[in-house]
A and B are shown apart, each in its own frame.
Chain A
Amino acid sequence: MTTVLSSHESAQIDAQIQVHRDKPGALLPVLHAIQDTLGYVPEAAYPQIAHALALSVAEVHGVVTFYHHFRTHPVGKHVLQVCRAESCQAMGAEKLEAHIKSTLGIDYHQTTADGAITLEPVYCLGNCACSPAVLMDEELYGRVDSQKIVEIIHEARVAS
């Protein structure tokens, strides 16, 4: 579903395009910059991006949807990424995942009703000596258990 961009959003997107458009292979830097600014890459921005980089809208769509990192919909105030990879599994990540989902009342790729937290799976955060690991926005946590995750979620909610 394509919604219309506000003129403010459109200007923000254009500003990011201008910063990065002359780099070789500019599309990923442009998409990162837009997602860093707006929290996601709106589908309505595809024509604007495509035009600036001399690409087709289909190419932009193809790239955005290929990469797990890019989102086409707004997210909550905070994004909680939970590692599902082997090292974390060896330390009880599966139980932790179930606990987080029931605590937040949502599944992966969903946002809590209050708009505070979006839950995403991730495959390795490079914190494998201290599994299981989660990343709240850019804050990494290790040896996370059912009690610690409640504190992490609480802190994020208080901060927002």
Chain B
Amino acid sequence: MIKVFVPRDSTALSLGADRTAKAIAAEAQKRGIEIELVRNGSRGLFWLEPFVEVATDKGRVAYAPVQPKDVPSLFDADFLHAGAHPLNLGLTESLNWLKKQQRLTFARIGITDPVSLDDYIAHDGYKGLANALKMSGADIVKTVTDSGLRGRGGAAFPTGIKWNTVLNSPADQKYIVCNADEGDSGTYSDRMVMEDDPYVLIEGMTIAGVAVGATQGYIYLRSEYPHALKVLNEAIEKANQAGYLGDNICGSGKAFHLEVRRAAGAYVCGEETSLLESLEGKRGLVRFKPPLPAIEGLFGKPTVVNNVISLATIPIILDKGAQFYADYGMGRSRGTLPIQLAGNLKQGGLVELAFGATLRELLYDFGGGSASGKPIRAVQVGGPLGAYLPESQFDTPLDYEEFSKLWAVLGHGGIVAFDDTVDMAKMARYAFEFCAIESCGKCTPCRIGSTRGVEVMDKITSGKDHAKNIQLVRDLSDTMLNGSLCALGGMTPYPVLSALNHFPEDFGLNKKEVAA
């Protein structure tokens, strides 16, 4: 029977993939043709969703974007046998956009049926866990350390070092917590992993549990991701039934239990200590550090808190070895980064590449330039707390240290492009506003500073005491930067000051006035 693939990823659904799938099923039935309709994950070419594929002897052939009205003509053109049609893009694997990528964490995404455990196993799934179960905890941790993997949530802290602390903190109970509170605008790679390849996250968490001796895991999932919740729960149930989770994982005698917990719309809960408070059923107030969560985390017990992408990268490292992963990348940024192209771009989507590609390659070679056709004027990398970069910095390679030299961050790998209609003073004001809405309120620089920031920005844009208020924004940013308890208040100055320094004309200044 011929296999037809129509993605079930949220973005595909948001562009009508369900209607397309129904239309294909109905048309096939009408014509008396038997097909097997697979709801796969998305390949990540989001501007082409709904992205339909047909399995042929030569590989999968893509037709995109397919709306219900296109379906009869696709059947007329015999698309089930790769027939010619204006929407025929040829073999999916031959598409330049995919060929140029290095998909390690995203190796299966878009190819498999996300909730099929058989599909997962047939595509190298659970090989990493099989290896891990033959190793000592210390050896697993060493492999992760040697791979050079750094926290993909944004902080870029070496994952292996965090695990090692938990491994060496004796306790009657330890926890693995997955931070799936992906709140940064311009990011969706966590969502894709959870919706399109949930078992890779489950496997990664299980390996983490085996490595450090934790028997309970929690996925703290943002409430804005209803589809991810359903997929994760279905996958966890199947993994339990098949013995990949539970009291005796794969007959090893080791236990690992996993539960999804829904967040409740607080951005600050992406900060690890605030997240732990929330999991404990409290207000998501940021904790003082020390103690580190690795020593006193959830319910006061040693806890690994890792981002979705960090954990989802563990299986391939344990499958192919530390060196395989470390061979990708540049400098101290080892491996690959799933980059998310967003905002005003013609071709938005998921690009996984080894560290080292430049922003310009991503914006133009992959992104195809702006969606509006106007020049790209500013790019925000790393979410709402990331700096705005002007065109003169587009040749910067994606590398944690190179970005830090520019007083910018890679964060979770989200890239949001703005065309030349953007008002950067407005974006600076928005950064303060967002911080005021999301501040947990524990520390003064963030709680009060964010609100004062909005007020000062309003004075600047209305021209009131202009020079004085520009200086005030700088002073306020300095206080927030150095005096806040966590990255929310501490990094809000990144978008604010980068906007001011790179785009002074939007703040009513001449370029020359901002040599600082």
**A residues within 8 A CB of B39?**
none
Give the residues from 32 to 64 in chain A that come closer than 8 angstroms, CB to CB, to chain B: 32, 53, 59, 62-63
Taking the closest CB of chain A, its distance from the CB of B183, in whole angstroms, is: 6
Partner pick for B416 among A26, A86, A122, A127, CB 8 A cutoff = A86
Among A28, A59, A90, which residue has the most Cβ atoms of chain B within 10 A? A90
The reply to whether the CB of B94 lies closer than 8 angstroms to some CB of chain A is: no
B278 and A128: CB pair below 8 A? no
A133 to B83, CA, bound (A): 34
A interface, how many residues as a size bin? 35 or more
- B47 interface residue, CB < 8 Å from A? yes
A106 is an interface residue with CB less than 8 A from chain B:
no
Q: Which of A67, A124, A142 contacts B185 (CB 8 A)?
A: A124
What's the Cα separation between A59 and B437 when bound, in Å? Answer: 21
Q: Is the CB of B14 within 8 A of A90?
A: no
Residues from chain A with a CB closer than 8 A to the CB of B427 are 86, 89
Interface of B is mostly: mixed
The complex places the Cα of A32 from the Cα of B278 at a distance, in Å, of: 13
**A130 to nearest B CB, angstroms?**
6
Q: Interface readout for A56-80 with B: 1 if CB under 8 Å, 0 if not?
A: 0001001100111110000000000
Q: List 24 A-B contacts (CB under 8 A).
A: A25-B281, A25-B282, A27-B281, A27-B282, A28-B264, A28-B279, A28-B281, A31-B264, A53-B281, A59-B282, A66-B284, A85-B434, A87-B186, A90-B416, A90-B422, A91-B343, A123-B183, A123-B185, A129-B47, A129-B350, A130-B49, A131-B343, A141-B14, A142-B15
Flag A1-34 by CB within 8 Å of B: 1 or 0 each. 0000000000000000000000011111101100
B419 within 8 A of A: yes
CB proximity to A under 8 Å, residues B180-210 = 182-188, 190-191
The reply to whether A62 and B422 form a contact with Cβ atoms under 8 Å apart is: no
Interface centre among A26, A87, A89 (most CB of B within 10 A): A87
B15's partner among A25, A131, A143 (CB-CB below 8 A) is A143
B150 at the interface (CB under 8 A from A): no
With beta carbons under 8 angstroms apart, the residue of A29, A127, A142 that contacts B261 is: A29
- A142 and B434 in contact (CB under 8 A), knowing A86-B343, A128-B188? no
Given A28-B262, A28-B278 in contact, is the A87-B14 Cβ separation under 8 Å?
Answer: no
B348 beta carbon closer than 8 Å to chain A:
yes
User: In the assembly, what is the distance between CA of A61 and CA of B260, in Å?
Assistant: 24
Q: B324 at interface (Cβ–Cβ under 8 A)?
A: no
Chain B, range 265-282, C-beta contacts under 8 Å to A: 265-267, 278-282
How far in angstroms is the closest Cβ of chain B from A82? Answer: 12
User: Is there contact, CB below 8 Å, between B224 and A129?
Assistant: no
For B11, list chain A residues within 8 Å (CB).
127, 129-130, 140, 142
Proximity bits, A88-130, B CB within 8 Å = 1, else 0: 1111000000000000000000000000000000111111111
Check if B304 is an interface residue, CB within 8 A of chain A: no
Q: Are A24 and B185 in contact (CB under 8 A)?
A: no
Of chain B, the residue at the smallest CB distance from A26 is B281
Please indicate the chain A residues that have their CB under 8 angstroms from the CB of B342 in the complex.
87, 90, 128-129, 131
Cβ-defined contact, A24 with B264, below 8 A: no
Partner of B224, one of A25, A53, A130, A135: A135
B349 at the interface (CB under 8 A from A): yes
Q: Would you list which residues of chain B between 143 and 202 have a CB under 8 Å from chain A?
A: 182-188, 190-191
* Additional pairs, 10, CB under 8 Å, beyond known A28-B264, A130-B46: A63-B281, A66-B266, A67-B284, A90-B343, A90-B416, A90-B418, A91-B371, A127-B188, A129-B188, A129-B341
A138 within 8 Å of B (CB atoms): yes
Interface centre among A53, A81, A124, A127 (most CB of B within 10 A): A124
Are A140 and B371 in contact, CB atoms less than 8 angstroms apart?
no
Docked Cα-Cα span, A31 to B262, in Å, equals 10
Given A53, A67, A128, which contacts B264 in the complex, CB threshold below 8 Å? A67
CB contacts (< 8 Å) of B440 on chain A: these are 66
Determine the distance from Cα of A69 to Cα of B181 in the docked complex, in whole angstroms.
Answer: 13
**Across the interface, which residues of B come within 8 angstroms of A129, CB to CB?**
11, 46-47, 188, 340-342, 345, 348-350
User: 9 closest pairs, A vs B, by CB?
Assistant: A129-B348, A85-B185, A27-B281, A128-B342, A67-B264, A69-B265, A90-B343, A129-B46, A142-B14
Report chain A residues within 8 Å CB of B493: none
Q: Within the assembled complex, what's the spacing in Å between the Cα atoms of A74 and B191?
A: 29
Q: Verify if B511 is at the interface (C-beta below 8 Å from A).
A: no
Is the beta-carbon distance between B281 and A128 smaller than 8 angstroms?
Answer: no
A contact residues around B227 at 8 Å (CB): 138, 140
Least Cβ–Cβ distance between A129 and chain B, in angstroms: 3
Measured between beta carbons, the chain B residues less than 8 angstroms from A130 are: 11, 14-15, 46-47, 49, 348
CA distance A140 to B191 in the complex (A): 13
